[in-house]
Amino acid sequence: MFRTNCSFASLFLNFKSILKTKENLIEKLGVHIENKEQLAPLAARILATLVLTGKKGATFDSLVFELNASKSTISTHLTTLQAANRITYHTKCGDRKKYFTLVPDALINSMNEMIKNWENERQLHLEIVEYKKQYNENIPKDSDEEVFDLEFHRDYLQFLSLASASMKKLQQKLSEKHLND
State the Rg of the chain over Cα: 25
Q: Judge whether residue 8 has pLDDT over 80.
A: no
pLDDT of 118: 94
Q: Identify the CA nearest to 127 among candidates 151, 153, 101.
A: 153
Higher pLDDT, 108 or 31: 31
Instruction: Identify the band that residue 15 occupies on the pLDDT scale cut at 50, 70 and 90.
Output: confident
Q: Identify the CA nearest to 40 among candidates 6, 78, 7, 91.
A: 78
- Quick one: DSSP state of residue 94? T
pLDDT in tens, 46-92: 999 999 998 899 999 999 999 999 999 999 999 999 999 999 999 99
Cβ atoms of residues 49 and 58 within 8 Å: yes
Instruction: Identify the band that residue 14 occupies on the pLDDT scale cut at 50, 70 and 90.
Output: confident
pLDDT in tens, 138-159: 988 888 888 899 999 999 999 9
pLDDT in tens, 93-143: 999 999 999 998 878 888 898 999 999 999 999 999 999 999 999 988 888
pLDDT of 181: 64
CATH of segment(s) 2-102: 1.10.10.10
Q: What is the pTM of this model?
A: 0.71
pLDDT of 105: 82
Please spell the DSSP secondary structure of 11-56, one letter per residue.
HHHHHHHHHHHHHHHHHHHHHHHHHHHT--HHHHHHHHHHHHHGGG
Mean pLDDT calculated for residue range 13-38: 91
**How far apart, in Å, are the Cα atoms of 78 and each of 12, 70, 90, 106, 143?**
32, 12, 14, 15, 63
Cβ-based neighbour number of residue 74 at 10 Å: 21
pLDDT of 6: 62
